[in-house]
Amino acid sequence: MFKMLSNENIEKSLQGNTRQYLVGQLKLPQELEHIDDQNIEIGITDYNEYFIEQPHWHKVAYEYQYVISGETKYFNLTDNSEHYYKKGDFFRIDPHTTYAQKSVSGTRILFIKTPPGNDKISVKANEGTTKWLIKWE
């Protein structure tokens, strides 16, 4: 059996949304008719403007990410290290890694989460992290 999501429908679902899941056993309503799968979550983040993700970490999920376009930076709050990724880069974020993220306009990332499920734990940004998030340097 084959299941497909058309480019036209994916692009339409990303209009006005920064994140669209393509695959998973999703609890929240989505713009796109996704492919149901209990083993993995796959989606796209699409930032038409400069965008920040507040600090958080995942209890059990590994995040695999492929930068389709643009640039993104991650700040590891545990060891204060910065990680820069651009178009064509592929990387993994391990569980229990507390990080903040910022991306330039035009950044699009394909992400894969395993195991699936919402295990995200939000963390309050300290003053240094807030300053880091505000502008691209």
Each residue's pLDDT tens digit, 6-26? 999 999 999 989 999 999 998
Domains contained in the chain, CATH given: 43-134 (2.60.120.10)
pLDDT of residue 106: 97
Give the model's pLDDT for residue 23: 97
Sign, CA torsion 8/11/92/56? negative
Query: Contact at 8 Å (CB) between 120 and 51?
Result: no
Angle at 118 between CA 48 and CA 135, to 5 degrees: 35
> Is residue 28 over pLDDT 90?
no
- Residue 107 β-bridge partners: 47
117 vs 82, which has greater pLDDT? 82
Residue 44 pLDDT > 90: yes
Q: What pLDDT shows up at residue 105?
A: 97
Please check whether residue 96 is in contact with residue 63, taking contact to mean a CB–CB distance below 8 angstroms. no
| pLDDT per residue as tens digits for the range 52-64 | 999 999 999 999 9
What digits encode the pLDDT tens for the residues 62-89? 999 999 999 999 999 999 999 999 999 9
